[in-house]
Amino acid sequence: MGKSYSIDLRKRVQAAIASGQSRRAAAGRYNVSASFAVKLAARVSRTGSAAGWG
């Protein structure tokens, strides 16, 4: 099962993406997977929130 990331980290990754960084670059900056950054950006686009399921 995947690792749960804090809402603070999710918000920092999303802020980096929103400021123009690529998803892959934002992932590298915060040491998370590119897949996480892509899925997070999609979730924020769909729901408006970086919060996870829990």
pTM of the model: 0.85
DSSP letters, 3-52, are PPPPHHHHHHHHHHHHTT--HHHHHHHTT--HHHHHHHHHHHHHHS----
Domain ranges of the chain: 7-47
pLDDT above 60: residue 39:
yes
* pLDDT for position 2: 67
- What residue type is assigned to position 22 of the chain? S
- What residue type is assigned to position 31 of the chain? N
H or E element: which one contains 1? none
* pLDDT for position 4: 86
